[in-house]
């Protein structure tokens, strides 16, 4: 049998949803049983999705089998996820962090430029399309799996980069692990250079856990945080998401022929309208936004979106890219270490809070906000609480940096896209 003659197995919407939930259950089982996955905050859809992708690759190699999922369903969950970021972006929270928050936001925004410049430069030097450097840059390392999977699809369809989605998922997974590995050692070296001594273990844990302004348990990243949701709040939240998705569809269609705006991904419209809607309702109409419901819907949508994106990956398309990707990601890891150690630490004050902030920057500069929080906890559990870091990093990493990242990705794609 010639494997290339086998027709793809097409999964309709029902079977796509069923398969995605099975991938999530598989991921939950793997994370609960494998310590490595828990220690490095590997998301359940990533764990289950990568194993599924490997199994599909084996089936393709042995029998030529391929699977096609219901793409519109995947896109809908992707739009809901990005709308949840916008609906969570309460700009009144900027007041909580004050000037240090703005300084840190400007600092990590500058790092995105550095990260993309390194990625594009390395890709060009290795004879690859410069846009591959963006995939191994802020698209995945700052953006994470959600942004990576989204832009991977865009880069494949609009720019013809074969295997972009697969590269994005692999790069984002590498970033999660690398970010968790480097953050603690970088901060510990900085703290040790200060001569700061460890505090009593019980004191460190209690102060860290009770740190005022600790924001991470309230953001959409805290997928395991229990939230009480009523049917009324669920309906209100679905209405908000429906408004965001409807607006994004209208704007995408309206500017389909526009020279510049037609290049804007639909999820940017959903996210942007979510920001406007959130702040308009809470500021002008004094509407009590139900953040817990937004967080839950956003988390569930992200999990389903990732599960669908990963289980439809074609890893065999990466066969010629492994060496180049490894080289670029290795350099990106070194650049992150040097930037956090020599720039983040110094700009943020060269004190203990600055060292903890450097650990957090390593976390979401390479992986995600939960990784950043875990990095900071590894320091504060030993050397004492850092209220400033636990306020600033989740606020910046949760959603503010996403807007900057999307804008800068657009600039780089305009500069280097064919």
Q: Residue 418: which pLDDT band, with cuts at 50, 70 and 90?
A: low
Q: Quick check: 213 pLDDT over 80?
A: no
Q: For the purposes of burial, counting CB atoms within 10 Å of the CB of 349, is it exposed (0-12), middle (13-18) or buried (19 or more)?
A: middle
Q: Quick check: 211 pLDDT over 50?
A: no
Helix (H) / strand (E) containing 68 = strand 67-68
Q: Quick check: 265 pLDDT over 70?
A: yes
Q: Quick check: 220 pLDDT over 50?
A: no
Other beta carbons less than 10 A from residue 232's beta carbon: 10
Closest by CA position to 412, among listed 134, 165, 171: 134
Closest by CA position to 216, among listed 39, 401, 393: 393
More confident of the two residues 64 and 106: 106
Q: Residue 60: its pLDDT value, please?
A: 86
At 36-68, the pLDDT tens digits run 887 766 778 878 888 998 898 898 888 888 888
Q: Residue 226: which pLDDT band, with cuts at 50, 70 and 90?
A: low
Arithmetic mean of pLDDT over the chain? 83
At 343-391, the pLDDT tens digits run 999 999 999 999 999 999 998 899 777 778 778 888 888 888 888 888 7
Q: Which residues pair with 67 in a beta bridge?
A: 9
Q: Packing angle between helix 71-88 and helix 266-283, nearest 10 degrees? A: 30
CA distances from 252 to 111, 247, 267, 352 (A): 30, 8, 10, 47
Q: Quick check: 229 pLDDT over 90?
A: no
Q: Quick check: 227 pLDDT over 50?
A: yes
At 111-151, the pLDDT tens digits run 999 999 999 999 999 999 999 999 999 999 998 887 888 89
Mean pLDDT score, 276-296: 86
Lowest mean pLDDT segment, chosen from 267-271, 297-301, 311-315: 311-315
Q: Residue 221: which pLDDT band, with cuts at 50, 70 and 90?
A: very low
Q: Residue 62: its pLDDT value, please?
A: 87
Prediction pTM value? 0.71
Mean pLDDT score, 156-183: 86
């Amino acid at each position: 049998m010639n494997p290339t003659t086998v027709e793809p197995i097409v999964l309709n919407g029902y079977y796509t949803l069923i398969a995605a939930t099975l991938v999530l259950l598989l991921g939950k089982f793997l994370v609960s049983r494998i310590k490595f996955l828990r220690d490095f905050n590997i998301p359940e859809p990533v764990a289950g999705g990568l194993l599924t992708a490997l199994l599909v690759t084996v089936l393709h190699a042995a029998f030529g089998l391929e699977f096609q999922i219901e793409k519109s369903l995947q896109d809908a969950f992707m739009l809901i996820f990005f709308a949840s970021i916008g609906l969570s972006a309460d700009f009144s929270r900027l007041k909580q962090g004050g000037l240090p928050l703005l300084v840190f936001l400007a600092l990590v925004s500058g790092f995105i430029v550095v990260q993309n410049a390194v990625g594009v430069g390395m890709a060009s030097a290795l004879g690859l399309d410069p846009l591959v450097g963006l995939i191994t840059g802020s698209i995945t390392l700052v953006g994470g799996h959600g942004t990576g999977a989204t832009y991977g699809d865009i880069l494949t369809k609009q720019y013809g980069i074969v295997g972009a989605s697969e590269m994005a998922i692999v790069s984002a997974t590498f970033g999660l692990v690398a970010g968790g590995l480097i953050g603690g050692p970088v901060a510990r070296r900085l703290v040790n250079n200060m001569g700061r001594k460890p505090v009593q273990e019980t004191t460190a844990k209690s102060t860290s856990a009770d740190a005022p302004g600790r924001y991470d348990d309230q953001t959409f990243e805290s997928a395991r945080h229990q939230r009480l949701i009523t049917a009324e709040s669920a309906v209100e939240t679905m209405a908000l998401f429906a408004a965001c998705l409807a607006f994004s569809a209208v704007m995408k269609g309206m500017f389909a022929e526009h020279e510049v705006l037609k290049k804007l991904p639909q999820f940017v419209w959903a996210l942007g309208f979510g920001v406007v809607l959130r702040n308009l309702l809470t500021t002008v109409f004094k509407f009590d936004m139900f953040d817990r419901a937004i967080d839950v819907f956003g988390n569930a949508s992200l999990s389903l979106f990732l599960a669908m994106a990963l289980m439809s990956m074609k890893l065999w398309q990466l066969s010629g890219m492994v060496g180049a990707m490894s080289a670029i990601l290795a350099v990106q890891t070194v650049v992150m270490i040097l930037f956090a150690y020599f720039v983040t630490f110094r700009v943020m004050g060269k004190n203990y809070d600055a060292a903890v902030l450097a650990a957090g920057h390593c976390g979401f500069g390479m992986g995600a906000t939960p990784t950043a929080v875990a990095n900071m906890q590894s320091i504060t559990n030993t050397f004492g609480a850092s209220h400033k870091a636990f306020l600033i990093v989740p606020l910046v990493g949760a959603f503010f940096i996403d807007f900057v990242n999307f804008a800068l990705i657009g600039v780089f794609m305009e500069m280097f896209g064919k």
